[in-house]
Structure 1
Amino acid sequence: MYYSRKRPMMDLPEEMTTIWSCTNDKCNGWVRDNFVFLIQPICSQCNSLMEKGEKMLPILANTCPDQKKL
């Protein structure tokens, strides 16, 4: 018999989330809007500008009370 140690992941609730995605075609970097510290963020992988969009992602709360966008 085969017993897998991996347990199936529960179905996490998802919602449309605002994200910033890299404008460089060769880069696939993106970040959630509520984890960004700048009004116009720059990609941390390739230093290109990022553009705002939406993506269906699991719900995740940012619990940092002092996060402000510069």
Structure 2
Amino acid sequence: MILAVIIAVAVVALAFAWRNRHRAGSTRIEAFRTRMKIIFLGLVVCSLCSKAVVHTYRHLNPPPPPIIGP
């Protein structure tokens, strides 16, 4: 599930990059907005990946059980 989301976000980011490169007559503000969208999508992908890594690590390395009593 998470892999599908990561792939979808990456495809959308590449589509924005391709659209921006092949767009004629764009202003500096439009180019800036498109770059910010690409950076934002990249950050979303990074956060999803880091959450997946942390979840997997915690799943495979659970904390030791608490010691109760003397």
Query: Normalised by the size of structure 1, how large is the TM-score?
Result: 0.19
> Which has the larger Rg?
2
Larger relative helix fraction = 2
TM-score, normalised with respect to structure 2: 0.19
Higher RCO, Cα 8 Å, sep 6+ = 2
